[in-house]
Amino acid sequence: MHKQGVAAFVLAAWSFASCAVQAQDSIERGRYLVEGILTCGNCHSPRAPGGVVDSTRLYSGGPQTWDEPAFTVKGSNITPDLDTGIGRWSAEWFLARTLGRPRVVAGDLGVRKAVGTAYFGGRMPTESEVRTATEHWGAAAGVAQQLLLNTLVSPDRTVPPTP
Ligand code: HEC
């Protein structure tokens, strides 16, 4: 191999290795934040006998319910599962909010609640029920979704107009 070829190869190998190290660093940092600092699993994971977090079903939904006057919520399933977890949720928000696509983020809990109130008499619909119920929104999906999400804000949480 010529000297230049060797140099290019070494440079390519070094930059590949450095990207891999950076990606690994991000994963480690994410794990540190999620498991060590923010302890997402405390609310989002089922419990094994004795009340400890069930490490075989991490992030598949917590047992507690927060029943407040303004809302009743549970630590939801935040695994990547398409049917029961977050699924395509974050990718769809990216399409809707960042790329301006007329996309209904049917797996999002807020969207499901708002569509449930508007179309299902308050029952929480599944992701596919949301897709079917909102099909007629068509190109107006982005605006319709935003308007419907605003209905989730309870009156006592609205900001009063400035005099
Ligand atoms: C104190 C309990 C608690 C902790 C800790 C917590 N969450 Fe949550 N989380 C909730 C509850 C309750 C909901 C459901 C809210 C609702 O129904 O409106 C939720 C909802 C979510 C959702 C939306 C799920 C969906 O289907 O739309 C995501 C994503 C999420 N949490 C991620 C996280 C991450 C990541 C962490 C750690 C950084 C975390 N949560 C820590 C209680 C918690």
The answer as to whether 106 is a domain residue is yes
pLDDT digits (tens, 9 = 90+) for 41-96: 999 999 999 999 999 999 999 999 999 887 788 999 999 887 788 888 888 999 99
The answer as to whether 50 is a domain residue is no
- pLDDT at position 158: 56
Residue 160 has pLDDT above 60, yes or no: no
Evaluate: CB of 75 within 6 angstroms of ligand 1.
yes
For residue 3, the one-letter residue type is K
pLDDT digits (tens, 9 = 90+) for 21-37: 677 899 999 999 999 99
pLDDT digits (tens, 9 = 90+) for 99-122: 999 999 998 989 999 999 999 999
Dihedral, CA of residue 43, residue 77, residue 59 and residue 95, to nearest 10: -110
The answer as to whether 134 is a domain residue is yes
Q: Kindly state whether residues 33 and 92 are assigned to the same domain.
A: no
The answer as to whether 149 is a domain residue is yes
Evaluate: CB of 149 within 6 angstroms of ligand 1.
no
Of residues 94, 36, 45, the one with CA closest to residue 74: 45
Output phi, psi for 34, to 5 deg: -70, -45
CATH of the domain at 144: 1.10.1670.10
Structural domain total, the chain: 2
Lowest mean pLDDT among 2-11, 47-56, 91-100, 139-148: 2-11
The answer as to whether 13 is a domain residue is yes
Residue 19 has pLDDT above 90, yes or no: no
Q: Which of 29, 76, 113 has most ligand 1 atoms within 8 Å of CB, for mutation? A: 76
pTM recorded for the entire structure: 0.70
Evaluate: CB of 42 within 6 angstroms of ligand 1.
yes
Confidence category of residue 5, pLDDT binned at 50, 70, 90: low
The answer as to whether 54 is a domain residue is no
Question: Residue 66, SS3?
Answer: strand
Q: What is the dihedral sign for C-alpha 134, 105, 63, 83? A: positive
Of residues 66, 27, 65, 58, the one with CA closest to residue 41: 58
Largest CA-CA distance found in the chain, in angstroms, rounded: 76
Domain holding 93, by residue range, is: 88-155
Evaluate: CB of 73 within 6 angstroms of ligand 1.
yes
The answer as to whether 83 is a domain residue is no
The answer as to whether 92 is a domain residue is yes
Evaluate: CB of 78 within 6 angstroms of ligand 1.
yes
Q: Return the residue whose CA atom lies nearest to atom 6 of ligand 1.
A: 40
